[in-house]
A and B are shown apart, each in its own frame.
Chain A
Amino acid sequence: MGKHHQNLLNNLEELRKKAGLTQQQLSESAEVSRKSINAIENGIYVPSTVLALKIAKTLCCKVEDLFRLPNN
């Protein structure tokens, strides 16, 4: 687990690296800026449902694998 937003824990950096993608490649596939991916990984930003689903689709995993609530 990387750095977290207070309301959302994320596993994005680990899964992205496991998929062999750079932040740039993931951002192009998810149709957002690289800084958005960076902000999500560093727990600065909580993505919208659409963006979370796009990222999950790109990384061939479930949204639940990427994000989870702190109390889970």
Chain B
Amino acid sequence: MTYFKRFLIIFVCGIVQIFYATYLLSNLFGYTIEWHISNHDLFMFIPGVLVFVGSGILTASYYFGDKKNNNILYDEYTALRYYKIAAIGYAINGIGIFILFSIQDWSNWNFQSANNMIYQIAAFAWLVFGILLTIFSIGDYKEFKNG
């Protein structure tokens, strides 16, 4: 693993999440584009699969990679930055999901409403973590290049 490979993995995960979030949010607000995905479509799994595979690669490199290299790549300063990003993400998502639950029309609840709420939660979580992952990856790589 290198700084550049880590940057690529995290950046791609983040950008794909932002793309899917934008797509879902635009759908929810009534804007549609020709390319259509639904929750029955395998395309919907792409952000999750990317995160799963990316996490797997990073975890494997942490445990089985070159120790000397890993001391630098996964040092405590990087870990602290990652914890901060994750904490911000969980906090914003917690507030966001609370708001999403609050704005639902529970008196006319039906299957379609539930389906929409799942879309809203997915879109919001992807958007938040997508932006945070992208910021982290760019910041991490810039720090590596410039100190």
Binding site for B on A (CB under 8 A): 23, 27, 31-36, 38-39, 45, 47-48, 51
Q: Looking at chain A's contact residues, is the secondary structure mostly helix, strand, loop, or mixed?
A: helix
Smallest CB-CB separation from A50: which chain B residue? Answer: B76
Give the residue among B68, B75, B80, B144 with the most A Cβ atoms within 10 A: B75
Q: Looking at chain B's contact residues, is the secondary structure mostly helix, strand, loop, or mixed?
A: helix
Separation of A45 and B78 alpha carbons in the complex (Å)? 11
- 1/0 per residue B74-101: CB within 8 Å of A? 0111101000000000000000000000
A-B contact count (CB 8 A): 34
Separation of A27 and B75 alpha carbons in the complex (Å)? 11
Which residues of the partner chain A approach B77 to less than 8 Å between Cβ atoms? Answer: 32-33, 35-36, 39, 45
Which residues of the partner chain B approach A34 to less than 8 Å between Cβ atoms? Answer: 72, 147
Which residues of the partner chain A approach B144 to less than 8 Å between Cβ atoms? Answer: 33, 35
Separation of A47 and B75 alpha carbons in the complex (Å)? 11
Can you sample 11 A-B contacts with CB below 8 Å? A31-B72, A32-B71, A32-B76, A33-B75, A33-B77, A34-B72, A35-B143, A35-B147, A36-B76, A39-B77, A47-B76
CB distance from B32 to the nearest CB of A (A): 44
CB distance from A37 to the nearest CB of B (A): 9
Separation of A34 and B75 alpha carbons in the complex (Å)? 10
Binding site for A on B (CB under 8 A): 68, 71-73, 75-78, 80, 143-144, 147
CB distance from B89 to the nearest CB of A (A): 21
CB distance from A51 to the nearest CB of B (A): 6
Contact across chains for B147 and A32 when beta carbons are under 8 A apart:
no
CB distance from B39 to the nearest CB of A (A): 41
Contact across chains for B72 and A32 when beta carbons are under 8 A apart:
yes
Assuming the A-B contacts A31-B71, A32-B71, are A48 and B147 also in contact, with contact meaning beta carbons closer than 8 angstroms in the complex?
no
Lowest 6 CB-CB distances: which A-B pairs, in order? Answer: A31-B71, A36-B77, A32-B75, A33-B72, A35-B143, A38-B147
Smallest CB-CB separation from B71: which chain A residue? Answer: A31
